Copies of this chain bind each other. A is one copy, B any other.
């Protein structure tokens, strides 16, 4: 088998690439985080790399479509289409790298009195002697029982047992034990802390929180990319991968767990603790993330009628999921609601307390999948809208993650474009909120009409292939680098994304016989939702037209919900009640949706009543 040496820069990862292995596959094996939108099918502008030295396979027709001949000459290629024919040095441009980027971990803090599922006690035991030959396990349990700290018949986890005898003898028979229900899930020396880990596993980003279980305080938090992203940016392409090849499902599980272990290790290090000090974890995620992480099959989840393996909340041993925290500890997985509405939605409803609302509340978590819940009259109904990764910057010609150099806000004044970038450095692309602003501005300046068609009469509009594009930042401003533009195709992508969300909202309203003006509050959760300009979102017709003060941007509410479930047993009970009470409407099988969607694609301010769009001046 012929193989070549490859060197990925600027990340500096080196390794072997086999002749029949694409650069993308090789980068996955080497752990180089190259963004791949469609699971390696080369359908969109993704996984861009530049060959700095060495020879590779001829450009494919897909690449010829994406790159100019000059770009191809300069070595610009798609990693999924390119195979090595010699040793290589490869540059991975910033927009193709998964990290670093801004991720969202913050959300509103909710005060709740801690009622942790794991309690920790310090005990000092009498050492064994010839007149007291009790086994170490019985000695410990009987001591705890005599103080009424555990109930009779309690047990010690096998992995805790494996460490018990040496620990007791090394610290003079004085230890801390962590008890969960009637089981000892951890033992440690007296100085250790009692930590918990809450994680919100998003399709794109993963947010982790390290919590002091006794006080309920957040000690540290961190946002990282979901490593599974190299198998596709949306849940559909990842499930397709997992279904196609069992080993890809295994690899995705490993990548998922890898992120969790990284968070456990990094977060505990920031407070000078060890991952073994984490005695309980709570994980929330959409149903696909939930299944892929636990290595549950997704074949039946990806096909109508989209059936999950399990919706109920689960308590599984951390070791059975590959999570390396305290020896006998558990992961609590919040319940799912349906195939496309998972525990993250439950967590969001829990944290925002939307589920207890007495007014009419619309609660959205905008992401690659957007879940929307309408709360009215004490009833909850949810839908999941396949909004796609456009707002994450994918499928958009100059889209990128919310990383340094991304345009995050933008205004068009006459023929000038004013913008603001993350890190206040020269622009390299557009992140979600910048994309949203661009579309709103194009509509407001009349460059794009309500149907999404781009006119020809603005000086910044120019031909792009057989279509058009609007130049936001020209080549001359970028010292000859390619311009940053919004193409007609980008506009169409954005219409599909925002249309899916709006149609979902309209269907929920119609289902309850409500008008958009009946909505008292709109809660917008999620990283993207935090940074968007609500007026832009209204301008493009993504959200129902309501006074701006009815909108509430709450940050990562799913993460906050995970934290609540981590520190409070009552909150877990509430989460189960939420999951049981939410009704779910499957959009794909609802005939009303197609009609709504056709209307919801339009830009501008309007309401939709009984499937008819009515403009609002």
Contacts and interface: CB of A to CB of B under 8 A. Distances in A.
Contacts of A161: 294, 296, 309-310
A100 interface: no
B300 A137 contact: no
A138 B339 contact: no
Given A136-B310, A137-B310, A162 B295 contact: yes
Interface string A178-201: 000000000000000000000000
A584 interface: yes
- In the complex, which of the residues A128, A130, A296, A309 has the most CB atoms of chain B within 10 Å of its own CB atom? A309
Given A300-B136, A336-B135, A586-B133, A128 B307 contact: yes
A165 B302 CA distance: 12
Interface in A561-602: 584, 586, 589
Interface in A81-137: 128-130, 133-137
Contacts of A321: 158
Interface in A301-320: 304-312, 314, 316, 319-320
Interface in A131-161: 133-138, 155-156, 158-159, 161
Contact of A166 (B159, B299, B339): B299
B158 A294 contact: yes
B165 A297 contact: yes
A165 B306 CA distance: 12
Nearest to A137: B310
A47 interface: no
Nearest to A128: B307
Contact of A310 (B156, B300, B308, B314): B156
A134 B305 CA distance: 10
Nearest to A310: B137
Contact of A164 (B155, B304, B309, B312): B309
Given A130-B589, A135-B310, A158-B320, 8 more contacts: A133-B586, A135-B309, A135-B312, A138-B310, A138-B311, A158-B314, A165-B307, A169-B300
15 contacts: A128-B307, A133-B306, A133-B584, A135-B307, A135-B311, A136-B309, A138-B312, A161-B296, A161-B310, A162-B295, A162-B297, A164-B309, A165-B297, A166-B297, A169-B300
